[in-house]
Structure 1
Amino acid sequence: MAASPRFGGHGPLLCGLALTRIIGWGSTFYSPSVLVSALDRDIGLNTEIVFGGITILLITGALVAPAIGRRLDREGTRRSMCVGAVACALGLAILSLAQGPVSYLASWFVIGIGHALSLANVGNVTIAQLMGDRTRRVIGLMMLVTGLASSVFWPLTAALMDAFGWRTTLLVFAAMQIVIVLPIYAAVPRFHHLPPSAPAGAVAASLAAENGRVAPEARRAAFWLVALAFSASGLVSWGLPLHLITLFQEAGLTQAEAVWIASLSGPATIAARAVDAMAGERLPAEKVALFGLLLGPVMCLALPLVPMTTMAAAAFVLLFSAALGVISVARATLPLALFGRNGFAAMLGRLTVPQNITFAAAPLLFAVLVERFGADATLIVSAAIQAIGFAAMLALVRMLARA
C-alpha cells in the first residue's frame, strides 16, 4: 500500500490508519469475547452483562454520531480522532478498575464516545477527505485489514491475560491508544474542501464529486431507502452469525463439524471484501449491494430445503458470508457515491442511528428466535428480513435509473 503511487503520497499514513483500526476494534469490540470468563470469575459478571457493554457502545455511537458527523464536515477528522483515542484509553483504564456491573457498563459508555469519535464512520470520512475518487477502493482495503482485528487481538488478549491478568491487559490496551494510535491520528493532515492552488479543471471535477448522484429533491427518499436496506441486512448480519454453531448442531451436525464450518465465515468475508476492493469500482456500488442483498436471503431460504450435510453447511457459510462482506463495503461506500463528499460525514452520522439500533438489538433477537422457533424458522425469518433490505435497494436502483 505504501509504495503505490495510486495513494497520492498517503501510503504510510494509510498503513498507520490500518494499524489503528486493528488496535481500536481489537481492544474494544472484540475483547469481551476473551474477557468474559475472567470477568465472571473475578467480579461476578454474567455473559449478558459482559456483552451488554457492546450494546452500550453501539447505542452511544447512535446517539452522538449525527453531531460528530456535522463537525467532521466542517473541520476534518484529526481533532476528533485524537480526542477519541484519549477517550478510548480513559474508558479502557476505567474498565480495568471495574468492580461490578455499574462500573463495568459505565466504562463502556466512555469507550463508546471514544469509538464514535475515532473509529466507526470517522475512519471512512478520513479516507474520503484524503483520497477523493479513490475512496471506494481504499475503504475496501481498510475493511479488509480491519477483518484481521479479531484474529490478532483474540490470541493477544488471551496471552496477556495468562501472563498478567485481565486488569493489566486492559491497561496495556489503554497505553496502546496513547503510544501508538494517538500519534498516527495526529499525523492526519488538516482538511480543505479544495486545494487553494488547484487548476480550474480539478476544481470542477472536485465540485462534481462533492455533489453526488442524487438530485436534491430525491435525497430524502434515497436516504431512507439506504437506511432501510442496510439496517435490515445488518439486523441479520449482526445476529445470525453468532448462532450458526447452534443452528448447525440442531440440524444434526456434531459440535466439531459445526465449529469448523462456522469458522469459514471470516475467510469468506475477507475474500469477498478483497474482490470488491480490487474489482468493485467497475460496477456501481448500489448494484454490488443489490447482489449481496439478494444472495443472503436466497441462501437462508435454500438451506432448510436441502439435507443438512457438512457440504451444504459449508456452502451456506461461504456464500452467505461473502454476501455480508460485499454489503459491509457497500454500507461504507454507497453513501459517498450517492450523496457526494459534501456533507458525507453528516450523512454517515444520520445513517448510524437506525443501523446501530438494529445492530444492538440483533444478538438478543436471534437468541430468542433460535431458542423458541428453531433453526429452520430462524433462517426463514432471516430471509424475510433481508428481503426487505433487497426491496429497498431495488427501489433505490430504479430511482437512480429513472434519474
Structure 2
Amino acid sequence: MKPSPLTIGLGVSMTVGYGTLHYSFSVLAPAIARDFGWETSFVFGVFSAGLLAGAVSAPIFGRSIDRFGARPVMILGTLAATLALVLYAVMQNAWQFAAITFLAEFVAFAVQYDAGFAALAQRYGQEARSHVTVVTLIAGFASTVFWPLDQWLLTLMDWRDVYLVLAAINLFFALPVHLAVPAYRPPRKARTTVEGKESTKDGGAGLQMALMAISLASGGFLISAVSVSLLVVLGAAGFSPAVATLAGSLIGPSQVLARLIEYSQRRLFTPVTTALVASGALFFSFALLSSSLALPLVAIPIAFAVVYGAGQGLTSIVRGVLPLYYFGTAGYGRTMGVLSGVRMVLSAAAPVSIVFVSERAGAGAAILSLLCVAGISAGTMVLLSRLRPLQASSD
C-alpha cells in the first residue's frame, strides 16, 4: 500500500496533537512550577486530574463523529486546542491553570489518535488497518520531535512564549490537514444501522465491548504508569539511573520496529492476532521485570524495555483496528469514545497509584501490581479472541 496524502497528513497532525498537548507538558511543567512557586507534584497532579476531563469528552466526541463526521470535530478540536495553548501563555494563577488544563485534556480526543482513526475508518472502511499503522509510525516520533524542540525553545524564550509557538504549530500544521479531511455522510444503510438497530447492537456486542474495554484500559494503565514512573520504580528496585535511562531509551526504537513489522506483514495475520501479540508482549515484559526481584541482572530491565516497547507500539494500532474488526464502521466513533473514556480513567489513576504502592510497599509490590494488570489485559484479550466479530452485520 502506498500511503495516501490524507494518511501522511493525519500522521503529522497526530504528531502535533500529542506533541503540543501531551509531551510538551513534561518539559514545560517544571518551568511553570518554578515561575509560580508551586510544587511540581501539584502541576502534574492537575494534569492527571485533567485526563478525567478527556474521559468525559470522549463519548461526546465519539457520537459527534458518527453524526457529523470526523472533519468538523477535528477542526473544532484544533481551534480549541490552539485556544488552550494561548491561554496557558497568559494565565496568572492556579485556578486558571487548572481550568486551562481541563480544557486542553477535554479536547485532546479530537486531535489525537481516536479521532484520527475514526477519520481513516470513515474514509477507508475495513481497509483502514494499514493506514492506521502508518499514522502510528509517524506520530510515534512525537516525543522525539517535541521534547528536544521544547527544550531548545526554552533556551531562546520563556515558557509563555513557547506555548505561543506551540499554538502557532497547531494552526499552521494541524489545522490545514483537518480542513482537508473529506466530508463524511454515512450512507442510508449505515445511518439506519446506527439509529434503528443500536439497541440490538448494544445487546449483541455487550460482551465483546466489555472484554475489549477491560483489555485496552488495562493496557492504557500500564503505558501511563511506565511513561511517568519507570525511572522511579527501577531506581527503587536497585538499578542505577544510567541503567534505568538506557532501558527507557530503548522503548521508542522497539515501538517503531514492532509497528514496521506489523505494517510489512499485515497480510499474514488478523487484527486479533496483533492484539494477542501486543497484550502478550506487555505481560511477558512485566514477567521479565518481576524476575529482577529475585535475580537483579542489568540485562533484565534492558530486555523488559525491548519487549515492552514492542507491546506498546502494537497496542496503539490495536486501539484503532480491533474495534473496526469486531464492530465495523457503523457507530465507530461512538465505540472509540466509550473505549477511550474507560481507558483514560485508568490512565489518569496509574502514575499516582504505582508511585503510592512503591513508596508504601516497595518497588517489588509495584512491579507485581503491574504484572497483575498485564495479566488482566492479556487474559481478557484471549477471551475476546474466542468471540466472533459482529462487523459483518454492522457494515
The two structures have a TM-score, normalised by structure 2, of 0.90
Offset, 1:134: 2.4
Offset, 1:281: 4.2
CA distance 1:116–1:296, shift in 2 (3 Å): closer
Pick the aligned partner of 1:364 from 342, 352, 356. Answer: 352
Distance 2:23 2:302 in 1: 24
Distance 2:46 2:17 in 1: 15
Q: How many residues align?
A: 382
Partner of 2:244: 258
State whether structure 2 residue 61 is matched by structure 1 residue 68.
Answer: yes
1:227-306 correspondence runs (5 A): 227-306=213-292
Deviations 1:17-60 (A, max 9, x none): 22111111111101111112211221123222322343244212
Partner of 2:8: 15
Counterpart of 1:264 in 2: which secondary structure? Answer: helix
State whether structure 2 residue 243 is matched by structure 1 residue 218.
Answer: no
Partner of 2:28: 35
Indicate the percent of aligned positions where both proteins have the same amino acid: 29
Distance 1:185 1:215 in 2: 30
Distance 2:135 2:325 in 1: 18
Counterpart of 2:101 in 1: which secondary structure? Answer: helix
| Off by >6 Å, runs of 4+ in structure 1 | none
Distance 1:283 1:216 in 2: 28
Distance 2:286 2:177 in 1: 42
Does structure 2 retain, via aligned residues, the 8 Å contact 1:370–1:378? yes
Deviations 1:202-254 (A, max 9, x none): x99xx9xxx9xx97753011100100111122212211343222333333332
1:37-56 correspondence runs (5 A): 37-56=30-49
CA distance 1:246–1:190, shift in 2 (3 Å): same
Counterpart of 2:386 in 1: which secondary structure? Answer: helix
State whether structure 2 residue 105 is matched by structure 1 residue 112.
Answer: yes
The aligned amino acid for 1:352 is S
Offset, 1:400: 2.4
More displaced, 256-265 or 114-123? 114-123
Partner of 1:148: 141
Does structure 2 retain, via aligned residues, the 8 Å contact 1:87–1:113? no
Deviations 1:152-176 (A, max 9, x none): 0111111112112110110111122
Deviations 1:310-353 (A, max 9, x none): 22221111112212222221122100100000110011111122
Deviations 1:64-90 (A, max 9, x none): 221221121122111111111110111
More displaced, 158-167 or 276-285? 276-285
Does structure 1 retain, via aligned residues, the 8 Å contact 2:286–2:374? no
CA distance 1:181–1:46, shift in 2 (3 Å): same
The two structures have a TM-score, normalised by structure 1, of 0.88
State whether structure 2 residue 320 is matched by structure 1 residue 332.
Answer: yes
Deviations 1:98-149 (A, max 9, x none): 2222111111122123322332411110011122232111111111211111
Distance 2:49 2:89 in 1: 17
Partner of 2:130: 137
Partner of 1:199: none
* Structure 1: gaps (5+ residues): 197-202
Does structure 2 retain, via aligned residues, the 8 Å contact 1:240–1:366? no
Counterpart of 1:400 in 2: which secondary structure? Answer: coil
Distance 2:146 2:379 in 1: 37
Pick the aligned partner of 2:181 from 177, 181, 188. Answer: 188
The aligned amino acid for 2:349 is A
* Structure 2: gaps (5+ residues): none
Deviations 1:269-315 (A, max 9, x none): 12112222222343222232122222322332333335222222211
Distance 1:256 1:68 in 2: 42
Counterpart of 2:22 in 1: which secondary structure? Answer: coil
The aligned amino acid for 2:152 is A
State whether structure 2 residue 71 is matched by structure 1 residue 78.
Answer: yes
State whether structure 2 residue 119 is matched by structure 1 residue 126.
Answer: yes
1:155-174 correspondence runs (5 A): 155-174=148-167
CA distance 1:74–1:394, shift in 2 (3 Å): same
State whether structure 2 residue 337 is matched by structure 1 residue 352.
Answer: no
Does structure 2 retain, via aligned residues, the 8 Å contact 1:140–1:329? yes
CA distance 1:359–1:304, shift in 2 (3 Å): closer
Distance 2:333 2:361 in 1: 40
Does structure 2 retain, via aligned residues, the 8 Å contact 1:262–1:317? yes
The aligned amino acid for 2:372 is A
Pick the aligned partner of 1:317 from 305, 313, 318. Answer: 305
Distance 2:260 2:217 in 1: 23
Distance 2:311 2:40 in 1: 29
Does structure 2 retain, via aligned residues, the 8 Å contact 1:49–1:101? no
More displaced, 85-94 or 257-266? 257-266
Distance 1:276 1:225 in 2: 23
Distance 2:290 2:378 in 1: 20
The aligned amino acid for 1:21 is M
